[in-house]
Structure formats: C-alpha cells, structure tokens
Structure 1
Amino acid sequence: MSKHLTKGKGLQDLMELMIESLMRSVLREFLDTQPDNKWNGYRQGRSYGNGRELEFRIPRDRYGNFHPTILALLRDQEIECERLAGSLYSKGLTQSEVGEVFEEVYGRHYSKGSISRMIEYLREDVDQWLSHSLETNYPIVFVDAIHIKVHRKDRVETEAFYVTIAVKEDKTREVLGIFNRPSESSGGWQEMFESLQSRGVHSIGLLVADGLKYLEDALARVYPTTPLQKGVTHLKRNMLNKVRHSDKEELSEDLREVFQTGNQYYTAEQA
C-alpha cells in the first residue's frame, strides 16, 4: 500500500492538505488575539518533505504579521519534515492524539485552551476532506487494512483503518478515504464501499487487494460487476508454506521468474 501512496501524488497530497489545514487553524487562533486584523487570502509556498517538494497555500493576515511556525520546522531538515508530516498524516486523519502534534509544535506559543480550539478547527477540515465528492468512475482502486495502536481513554487498543487509493483516468493517484473501524469485518468493508458510493463513485473498473477477510463478499454486494484482483505476495507466501524448507529457495526463484509484476511488457502467455 505504501508504494501506491508515494507514487503519483497520493501521500504528497495528504501531507500538503494537513499542513495547509494546520496553518489555517493556527491563523484563526492568531486573529482572535488581534481584533483589528483580518484574513487576507493566501500566498504560494514550498517546502521539502518525503523526498519531494511540497506545494501549498500559506494563509496570510492583513498586516503580514502571521508567520507559520510549522514552515520553519519543515525547512530545518528532511528528517524533521518526514517525522512531522507523518504525525500529521497518521494522527490528523485518524483524529487520534492530534493534540500531541499541536503541543509539540505550538505549546510554547499558545495556551492549552487555544491549542484545543485549533484541534477542533483541524478536525473540521479533516471531516470535510473525508466527505468530499469523488469522481464517478475510477479504473483501478487499491484497498488495504492497516492496524494501528490508538489511545482510548486510559488504554491502548489496536484498531483497523481501511485505506482506499484510486488510479484515475489520467493515471494519477488519489487517496479516496481512510475509514476507522474497531476491527476488520464484512460489515466494515461494506460500509466503506457504501461511503464511496454515496460520495459519487458509481463504478470501479478493478479492485486490487491482498487476501483480506470478508472483502470479496462486501464488494459483491455494493459493486457486483467489479472484478477483484488479489496481490501476488500472499499467493507466494501460501505456496512457500506448502513446501519443505530445503525447497523454498528454489521455489522462490521460480515464483520470481513467473511473477514479473514490475515489467509492464510481461504477458500472461509468457508467464
């Protein structure tokens, strides 16, 4: 799943979205302390992150006094950017522990009450993104379930996050959504597909997934004409588990020769 996020502009779009949302949240709180000041549009900005140049709109105030602290942190070093962007992605989109990011970045500049309000601003932007309209057709959609430990009151629990990434008609990638459920289930997958449908996705040309439990039945109920292509990784593992340890290396070589997934000119007949 991670390789599909980093190709095109999948993860990059999410990072830019979260950084922009963070800056808007801080500007709202900044303007509350200056009654005679106002929001004055945006200016284009760039920073470095995840091995790429990020582009985003930086909100500005009337008097030019607002300077987003996060931009200075992102400029410091690549490692800092990746760590911070990763926190915004994982914590922001899940709405879990996002306050830790604000405390870390802005704790010395704002009170706890201000940080709490900024978190709510950010959550509004996240909710808006999670429900935004989608295209009517996607040729290919990748889905996966990622299990992440989250804090729930006084305990830590592992929950499932369903991630959907689409390949569009122009061959670029788009993150369609991230859906949090306590665990993987047929009902959870069906809710995810129904959510995509309610946001405008009428057809999916091909769904690509690993051997996920309950997924096939849920897909058939919501998108009955969509074929499911399973990834080869789990198939290889299952085959290797059925041979002696001394034969695994030989079988692995055979499987690498058969499944040349990185070669776009390799045909089924050749395999």
Structure 2
Amino acid sequence: MTNPTFDMQAAIQALRDGKGLSGKDGILTPLIKQLTEAAMQAELEQHLEQGEAPNRKNGSSAKTMKSTSGNFELNTPRDRAGSFEPQIVKKHQTQLTDELERKIIGLFALGTSYQDIRAHIEEMYGICVSNGTLNAVTDKLLPELQTWRERELDPIYPIVWLDAIHYKIKENGRYISKAIYTILAVNVEGKKELLGLYLSEHEGAHHWLSVLTDLHNRGVKDILIACVDGLKGFPEAIESIYPKTEIQHCIIHQVRNSLKYVASKNQKAFMADLKCVYKATTLNAAESALDELEAKWGEKYPVVINSWRNKWPTLSAYFKYPDYVRTAIYTTNAVEAVHRQFRKLTKTKGGFANENSLLKLLYAGILRASERWTHPVQNWNLTLSQLSIHFEGRLDAHIDL
C-alpha cells in the first residue's frame, strides 16, 4: 500500500491555524511515519542485496506505533524468506524511541502518581498508557537498582551518616511498617555519596550489624567518623565491624529525646541551659555547663541528665574539631535531608503494594538527588587536613596532601 507523501504546504497552513507540532494529531506525525517507513525500506533493500539465497520483497504488515509526536500506523516491509530483521523499529517494538520512557521515569522520579503521569502523557503526546505499561517502564529501574546496591565501594570514607526512615508495605494482605536504612557518606574528594539502601521490618542494632557487614564486604575497610542517632547498641554494632571508627551521636536526636521527659512549662528554661552544653566552644566549657545543668535540674529530671552522662563520650566527640568540622558531624542532618527528599516523593502514598514499588521510587529519587552532588562539601580541604591530623596515617594511602 502506497502512503501519501508528506504535504509540506498543508503542514505550514495547519501550523498557521494553530495546530500543534506534536501530540495527538500533531503536524509532524505523518512526516515521522513517512521517514520511518522509508528508512525501513532501505534496510530491507540492503538486506536483499547482501543475501546469498534468492529472496524478494513480500508486502508489509501494519502495527500501531507510539511516539512523542502521536500514534500512527506503521507499515513494516517483509521479505519472502522471512529472514529480514529490521533494526530501526524491531519486530515487537511499539514505541518509536525511548524518549517516552525517559519522560515517564522523569515524572516518576518527581513522585508523580501513575494517574497524573497518564494524564500528562495523554495531554502532551496523545498517547494512552495503562498502569501496566507504567509499571513495566519503571520496573526497568530494578536491575539497575540491584547493580547499584551491589557495586564496589571505596576502601575508606572520612564521614558516614546512618539513619532510618519507615514506610508501610503490604505483606500477606496487610500493611506493616518497615525501616529503610540509609547510608550517606562523604568520600575522600569531599563529595556526597549514598552507599546503600537496606530494608528491614524493624530498626535495630542487630540489623545495622548486617548493613555494616555488607558495606565491609563491598570494599569499605575503614570509616573515620560515623554520625548516628541514639539507637541503643548502635555504637557496639559499628565497633564490631569498624573498631577504630569514632562515633558521634546526633545532638539533635539527643535534645529531642531529652525534651520528651521535661514538663512543657519548664522546656524553655531547660533548653536555654542545655544549649550552653552542646553550643559550648570547648570540651571543658561543655562539661562545666553539663555540671551546672545537673545541679539545677538533676533532681527534677534525673533520667535526662543520666542519659547525657552515659552517652557523653560519643555526644562530645565533635568538640575536638574546629567549627567547620563540627557543623558536618554533630547531627545526622545530612542524611535526614535525603529522607526529606524521600518524603516528598512518597507523600501522596499511604502505603506500597510491595518492597520493589518502594525501592524503585526511592532509587529514582536518589538518581535525581545525586545530580546535585557534583561539588565537594563546604570547607572540605580544611576538613580533610584536620582529619589527617586526628586520624594519623589512615588517610595517607588515599589522598595527596
């Protein structure tokens, strides 16, 4: 069947009349069809010329193609021997380019719901896509995610932040809460890098041990400073795999937990005194402020004071460093910023049908977030010099100072 030649004059007139170039009934759709079919005819002719056995053209078969310029019927040429394998548009291909898939994954990485993605694709390109199609496209992230989760890591990371975020995932007909363990690091070049995502039913020191073991198996032999929340047993889990790692408990987590045990009428005054502890300029000044805090509030809130006393070695580790290092390590804010991005992606979803539906969304978000991690963190050269002094010899083989 002969196809009409693309009418340039009619296209120009349609453009003047306000008709769109792409999308449903777009001006360019007939041209895309014509060019594609011409290219496939050329492919077939080359195939026939190179063939040794007698062969010839054998008509064509039609299929509906989806493209960003609109849907159209594509007539695929055939040969008598059935040996022709078109490369421009393969036999079972129904989408002209991967542009549509990139658009879908781009919208998915923004946390856009399937319903909104469908509406956007139909409005922009005149193509109706089903939830099954969207799942098939976004599922292409899963093998990439698995490769990313198993990739080899650097032998040393100067700073690592560890934290967890919780989601509802459907399992055996009901939704249960599971923890996503997030490991964010700064490499020796000062650039942020997400080392891994791990999923467990509960946040606990036992599972953190398996996470740290995985990091070690993937090549991480040393961590200088690990910044963690107040989970019981966490420092011991780190010490069992990385015995020389310095632990810094998150001050913000500790403050939040402390205020749970302070009466609301006293919280303002208590916080003013507590700030003198963790905002002190030196370790001696901080310890003096802690003594004063205990003298004033110890009888009323012994649980809070005991918590600060018991964790003081890991709460106060940051005092040995100058301000630009302290700012980086005294909280887990860096990894919590990643979790804020995760929450933006998942805020419209009450739960997830399975683990993969959650993990591929978070991975898409990671890819987007990491695009901004192209420069070293602030004051990195100064920070690295300080760490080289405090952790003498451990960085020597990995940096040039």
**What amino acid maps onto 1:143 in structure 2?**
L
Matched, 1:205 2:224: yes
Q: 1:142 aligns with which of 143, 156, 161?
A: 161
Matched letter for residue 137 of structure 2: M
1:173 maps to amino acid: K
Are residue 130 (structure 1) and residue 149 (structure 2) matched? yes
1:160 Cα deviation (Å)? 1.0
Computed over aligned residues only, the root mean square deviation of the Cα atoms, in angstroms, reads: 3.9
Q: 1:190, CA displacement in angstroms?
A: 1.0
Q: CA deviation at 1:156?
A: 1.0
Structure 1 pair 116–73 and aligned structure 2 pair: CA distance change class (3 A): closer
What pairs up with 1:83-232 in 2 under 5 angstroms?
84-87=108-111, 109-110=128-129, 114-115=133-134, 117-232=136-251
Q: Give yes or no for contact 1:130–1:177 (8 Å, CA) kept in 2.
A: yes
Cα deviation, residue 215, structure 1 = 1.6
- Distance verdict in 2 for CA 1:269–1:86, change over 3 Å: farther
Letter in 1 for 2:207: G
Once the two structures are TM-superposed, the CA of residue 218 in structure 1 deviates from its matched residue by 1.5
Residues 171 and 149 (structure 1), Cα distance of their counterparts in 2 relative to 1, 3 Å cut: same
Shift of 1:270: 5.3
CA contact (8 A) 2:104 2:137 kept: no
Instruction: State, as a whole percentage, how many aligned pairs show the same letter.
Output: 26
- Give the structure-1-normalised TM-score: 0.59
1:39-83 per-position Cα deviation (integer Å, ceiling 9, x unaligned): 9xxxxxxxxxxxxxxxxxxxxxxxx84433654896xxxxxx6xx
* Rounded Cα–Cα distance in structure 2 between residues aligned with 1:103 and 1:214: 47
- The residue number in structure 2 matching 1:67 is 99
What CA distance in whole angstroms lies between the structure 2 residues aligned with 1:234 and 1:178?
A: 21
Q: Structure 1 CA distance, aligned partners of 2:99 and 2:179?
A: 37
Q: Deviations over 1:228-251 (max 9, x none)?
A: 110112322344345444322112
Distance change in 2, residues 1:145/1:66 (3 Å): closer
Secondary structure of the structure 1 residue equivalent to 2:111: helix
- Cα 1:199/1:206, change in 2 over 3 Å: same
Cα distance per residue 1:190-224 (max 9 Å; x no partner): 11001101111000001101111332222121111
Q: Given that residues 144 and 162 in structure 1 are in contact (C-alpha distance below 8 angstroms), is that contact kept between their aligned partners in structure 2?
A: yes
Aligned to 1:37: 88
CA distance in 1 between counterparts of 2:102 and 2:119 reads: 10
More strand by share: 1
Unaligned runs of 5+ in 2: 1-65, 68-73, 77-85, 91-95, 287-401
The count of residues paired between Structure 1 and Structure 2 equals: 198
Deviations along 1:14-61, whole A, 9 cap, x unmatched? xxxxxxxxxxxxxxx99xx9942279xxxxxxxxxxxxxxxxxxxxxx
Would the aligned equivalents of 2:104 and 2:117 in 1 still touch at CA under 8 Å? no
SS at match of 1:118: helix
The answer on whether the counterparts of 2:118 and 2:130 sit within 8 Å (CA) in structure 1 is no
AA matched with 2:212: F
Gaps of 5+ in 1: 1-28, 40-63, 75-80, 89-97
- Cross-structure match for 2:308: none
Which residue identity is paired with 1:228?
I
Q: Which amino acid aligns with 1:180?
A: L
* In 1: Cα distance, 2:265 partner to 2:171 partner: 46
TM-score, length-normalised on structure 2? 0.42
Of structures 1 and 2, the larger Rg is shown by 2
